[in-house]
Structure 1
Amino acid sequence: MSKSQIEMPVADARTQNSITEEQAQFFLDNGFLVIKGVLRGEELATVQAEMEKQVAKGVAGVQDDPDYMYGKGGKTGRNVLRRVEYVIDKSDPMKALLGHPFILRSVEKLQGNNFIPTWDSMVLKMPDEGIIVPWHRDAEVPAGCTDPRPIFNVDFYLDSADLMTCLWVIPGSNKWSKEACKARIEQDGADRFSTEDAIPVPLEAGDAIFHDITVLHGSPAGDGNPLRRTVYYEFRPGEIEWNYGPHTHEYLGLKQQMLLECLERRAAASYAQGEEPFVYKPDGEFALGERTALESFRYPHLEYWRG
């Protein structure tokens, strides 16, 4: 069976409580999974509006704020906004999004109940300025780690992504060696994006995709592309973070407290009324202690980096 003919199960947050065992196994085997209808109605409109504020702020230019990142536009070569870091800290609806029950029940199924939220960012393709995002892995599994559980991102699409702007993935490359990945990346270089062994993942606004940090993915340049905003929340099994890093033990406790606060923000959101909330119940050395008041929702990675 060719990559284009792969039988791809699709989860649906509108009708499911969490991903199924079949969908979980597809994700483990292939490194990605599409989830339809994660954000809809009032929540989708609210999150889109909140992130539009961040886009407008970044487009206007932000002095001396490393959270707003820029790159050369694909068509004009001008400096254009490409990424905004720590979006949970910047927006209450993004806090509520972290508490999304379908997403968290699915993360728990794949990583166990001691999972930790780690990164939160928004990545953009600005209108008519799409550039090639070469084939890459987001990161490697920490050195020495033999834990088979996946580390992955949940990508929330705030805009529809067609073949001009969508993510492409190479199914199963999450199981490749570093050497095999390096060879495939070098096959194209920075100026070519071949897709003969890949499949596109077009999505509607409000859909999401789980993608393993080790699966090869990227996107072609868009000529006349519309705006594409994607919010990324990364999750890691707590045991992997505790034993191998990259963050310190202190960071894990802070992010647990942050998740608890975000679950409360979701419970109070008008669009979350009537849904079955997620209950975070880590155990063992990750068992929750006394609640502490958070001074911030922004915990810079390098300030909590080992070594």
Structure 2
Amino acid sequence: MSEPQIDMLYADARTQRCITEEQARFFLDNGFLVVKGVLRGEELQTIQDEMEKQVAKGAAGVQDDPDYMYGKGGKTGRSVLRRIEYVIDKSDPMKALLGHPFILRSVEKLQGRNFIPTWDSMVLKMPDEGIVVPWHRDAEVPADCTDPRPIFNVDFYLDSADLATCLWVIPGSNKWSREECKVRINRDGPDGFSTEDAIPVPLEAGDAIFHDIKVLHGSPAGDGNPLRRTVYYEFRPGEIESNYGPHTREYLGLKQQVLLECLDRRAAASYAQGEEPYVYHPDGEFALGERMELVTFRYPHQQYWRS
């Protein structure tokens, strides 16, 4: 395959209120969209400092907490930290981040007002030990789902990502069949990572990527790579979740309450003063009822899977 020819299009959270129609179309066509300058100044520094504490905790070794996940280091083969789940529950700045108005207005543009925040985690490439992430889709949409709206992650980069650490994508693979994706994935095997039909997406700290769960993406193993921390927030249209899962209806209501509380945390954050806040206004079966007092922000997925 030849290297794909694509005219990159970027959104800019420093100058835009929301992604444009052209940027939305680029995302729908290609399966990804880069947004420049989502995190900056005090907010970026605060989040970097907060998540460095989580990295230090995980790097020291956490034996009794399944939220801290480990893999085989790309250089030495030793066990290294690769992922931390439920970061919103672990950090107040992560709560405020979920309320980011540019992000939420853009999510609503793509998914409609009944969107649900469904997942939150941080994926890492530890210094000099970046673990290969083979070509993959994050998930599949049920075959009988006729709703065309995308399910996607917003990936917040806390560190710059160069060719040694950045995400690679195969543009347009979000429209491929399952069989086409399987053929491409199997071509490289479990540890291979050929890139002749892909493009790299290098970023600066504070940038973000919207990536469709169906777009093929991954990253090579690091050798001499710097630390790369990426926070992932997944969003799904409520109607798709309600009709097809994988979570129960109870989970959706709880996550709506999490979002409302995170919007309050955003409004109170020093670095959010003066910005136009996002107003969450779902309707129909997802219309908001009475606010509830949350005792946790961690709702384990396995406890809310449909049978």
Note whether the superposition's TM-score is higher than 0.5. yes
1:214-293 matches, within 5 Å, as 214-293=214-293
Which residue does the alignment assign to 1:112? Answer: 112
Q: Deviations over 1:208-230 (max 9, x none)?
A: 00000000000111110000000
| Partner Cα distance (2:69, 2:97) in 1 | 23
8 Å Cα contact 1:164/1:220 also seen in 2: yes
**Number of the residue aligned with 1:103:** 103
Do 1:129 and 1:225's aligned partners in 2 also have CA atoms closer than 8 Å?
A: yes
| Cα distance in 2 between the residues matched to 1:76 and 1:42 | 36
User: What is the CA–CA distance in structure 2 between the aligned matches of 1:199 and 1:7, rounded to whole Å?
Assistant: 11
Q: CA deviation at 1:77?
A: 0.8
Query: Partners in 1 of 2:218 and 2:80 — Cα distance?
Result: 19
Structure 2 counterpart of 1:243, which letter? Answer: N
**CA distance in structure 2 between the partners assigned to 1:107 and 1:31 by the alignment:** 14
For 2:210 and 2:142, locate their aligned partners in 1 and report how far apart those are by CA, in whole Å.
Answer: 19
Distance 2:213 2:11 in 1: 20
**Is the Cα–Cα contact under 8 Å of residues 74 and 221 in structure 2 kept in the other structure?**
yes
TM-score by length of structure 1 reads: 0.98
Unmatched tracts of structure 2, length 5 or more: none
Aligned to 1:34: 34
Conserved 8 A contact 2:115-2:238: yes
- Deviation of 1:146 after TM superposition, in Å, equals 1.1
Amino acid at match of 2:216: L
TM-score by length of 2: 0.98
Q: Cα distance, 1:191 vs. partner?
A: 2.8
Q: Do the aligned partners of 1:142 and 1:246 also contact (CA within 8 Å) in 2?
A: no
Separation (CA, whole Å) in 2 of partners of 1:60 and 1:200:
31
Q: Which amino acid counterpart does residue 271 of structure 1 have in structure 2?
A: Y
Match for residue 145 of structure 1? 145
The answer to whether the Cα contact below 8 Å between 1:36 and 1:207 also exists between their aligned partners in 2 is yes
Match of residue 129 from structure 1: 129
Q: How far has the Cα of 1:142 moved from its partner?
A: 2.8
Change (3 A) 1:159 1:285: same
Matches within 5 A, 1:57-72: 57-72=57-72
Q: Which stretch of the first structure deviates more once superposed, 47-56 or 137-146? A: 137-146
Q: Any gaps of 5 or more consecutive residues in structure 1? A: none
Distance in 1 between residues matched to 2:65 and 2:140, nearest whole Å: 28
Kindly indicate whether the alpha-carbon contact (under 8 Å) linking 1:110 and 1:149 is maintained by their aligned counterparts in 2. yes
Segments of 4+ moved more than 6 angstroms: none
Q: Do 2:137 and 2:214's aligned partners in 1 also have CA atoms closer than 8 Å?
A: yes
Identity %: 87
Helix, strand or coil for the counterpart of 1:5?
A: coil
Aligned-CA RMSD value: 0.8
Deviation per residue, 1:43-79 (Å, 9 max, x gap):
0000000100000000111121000000110111111
Per-residue CA distance 1:170-196 (angstroms, 9 max, x = gap): 000000000000000011112321111
Tell me the CA shift for residue 143 of structure 1.
4.1
Aligned to 1:92: 92
